[in-house]
Amino acid sequence: MKYTKIVLILSFALVANITQGTELDTFGGFTDIKGKKTGFFHTEKIDDRWWLITPEGHGFWGIGMAHPITGFTQSAVTFTFRGSQEAWLRGTIQRMRDLGYNCVWSGPYCPERLQKGFVDKELAERIFAENTIPYAFPIPLIKHNVELKPGEQQPDVFSDEYIRYVDDLVAQYVPRLKDDPWIMGYYYGFGSWAREMLWINSTIGRIDSPGRERLLGVLEKRYEGRIDAFNEVYGTQFRSFSELKKSGSLVYPEWIRKLKMGYTRMPKKAGSQEMFDDAQALLGEIIEQVYRLGYETIKEHDKNHMIFGSYVKEATLNMDTWQRVAPYIDVIAPQHVSKVFPIGKVVSALEKPALISDQPYGNVYSLHLIEKGGTPGAVPDYVDRLVLYDILANRISQDPDFIGADFCSCLFDQSHPDKAYERGQPGFFTIDGEPRSHLCRTVRNLNEQILENVKAPHNDKAVEALDMKFHDTLLRYRQVIKDRKALLQKNPAVTYP
């Protein structure tokens, strides 16, 4: 009861602050930002800023929490909601609103965080359909790597089997969602192609498969049928492309992915640039196939809603690949504000807005997890999470290329460390439902600030300065964590004072 009263007070205060001098429409759009009234969410560029436009025809900027409904929230369901998933789902939507999140880009659940099968998907879908909050809906065409079972490979997306899978998946969900105005659009999952060399290598490694034939055919075309030129680049001795296709093996090295992410430099070995370029072309072939299949299959049932594609790592797609998939998406949806591949140039080239689909702002982990590694995005303390959130909230919302941001957050502390996503990622609330008050209060205020920023005239120099500040601050935090890890390795008996 005490929490409910506090929540109601905060909710009314938040709405009063955000809407002071500005009326919001049914979906949360600013009534003074006028777009086309189509009955469904879409995008428009108004006065040099991109906007989501609500079904009622008003400008909307989507602030979301990337991972509110996951299979790793079982402890919170048990202790905070007495085991009731329905109470948890409804309570989650309310708490997100109370924190100033006005939409759910991940939808009723996060596909890549359901490995344990805990979430009642049908119940989650029903409750989200009953609640008046804009949301995207997952059509998981591609599994995240953490979903793969031991020995399981990603699919051959050129096979008849995969095409049937897409048809069946879309037919299961889209026909019944096509007239729902609260759905902003469809997405294909988080982190798709995060280990892109595995995609290429596993596709080529399937002898006599459609995917192998397709990719090796691309290579043959790129080298104009000249096997000698191909052999010179790859250090192989194939007598013909026919021999390569029949029984030859080909493996793309991991340095290609690391180079794209800015983690390494181009090897000085002859042929490295050509091999890198070939890999991007092959990956583009795979990604375009998925985007085209998803788009065409969804549009057979639903011409009303937008398509966001996959929520991809920031450097997975290069400019050429973005151009290849442009006909099949309405919004560019990279994860992370990136120095390696700034997304603004893609927005300009494609004339499509961007969504930051999963923006980390640091997680606080126990010392033993920092020592073991495998905890990306660690920062020293919760105050440091707020420092990064502050910079990012202003940097992203002041940039006219973006229509929203999905912050890499969990509402409740996640389960014990066991697997990749069970590293105890901290939330806004403990598993007992106790709020981290300073975190909740500051994020609530910053989310309010976002909605003020998007209505103010933009300043390119201010955005550039915030971008530099973010990357510089993140680099400093990473050094602190690196120093902590070094100390723990040197003095493994160190514990908290």
Query: Does 20 have pLDDT greater than 60?
Result: no
Q: What is the pLDDT of residue 370?
A: 77
Strands 306-311 and 183-190, bridge-based pairing: parallel
- What are the distances in angstroms from CA 400 to CA 171, 396, 456, 476? 36, 8, 10, 28
pLDDT tier at 139, thresholds 50, 70, 90: very high
Whether pTM exceeds 0.85: yes
The per-residue pLDDT for 491 is: 80
Buried b (16+ CB within 10 A) or exposed e, 467-492: bebbeebbeebeeebeebbeebeeee
* pLDDT average, residue stretch 215-236: 98
Please say if the pLDDT value at position 16 is more than 90: no
195 against 329, higher pLDDT: 329
Q: How confident is the model at residue 340 (pLDDT cuts 50, 70, 90)?
A: confident
Give me the chain's average pLDDT, please: 91
pLDDT at residue 46, as a whole number: 97
Range with the lowest mean pLDDT among 253-262, 303-312, 445-454? Answer: 253-262
* Average confidence (pLDDT) over 343-347: 94
pLDDT digits (tens, 9 = 90+) for 35-47: 999 999 999 999 9
pLDDT at residue 200 greater than cutoff 80: yes
Helical pair 272-301 and 210-222, crossing angle rounded to 10 deg: 130
Q: What percent of the chain has pLDDT over 90?
A: 78
Per-residue pLDDT band at 489 (split at 50, 70, 90): confident
Predicted local distance difference test score (pLDDT) of residue 221: 98
pLDDT for residue 15? 47
pLDDT band of residue 374 (cuts 50, 70, 90) is low
Cα–Cα distance, 230 to 317 (Å, whole number): 24
Q: Which of 308-317, 423-432, 451-460 has the lowest mean pLDDT?
A: 423-432
pLDDT at 18 over 90: no
The predicted pLDDT at position 424 comes to: 72
pLDDT of residue 414: 87
- pLDDT tens per residue across span 389-417: 999 999 999 999 999 999 999 999 987 54
Sequence-separated contacts (24+) of 204-210 with Cβ below 8 Å: 204/249, 204/250, 205/249, 206/156, 207/247, 209/156, 209/158, 209/159, 210/156, 210/158, 210/159, 210/160
Per the model's pLDDT, the better-predicted residue between 12 and 54 turns out to be 54
Mean pLDDT over residues 158-167, rounded?
98
How far is Cα of residue 237 from the mean position of the Cα atoms in its chain? 41
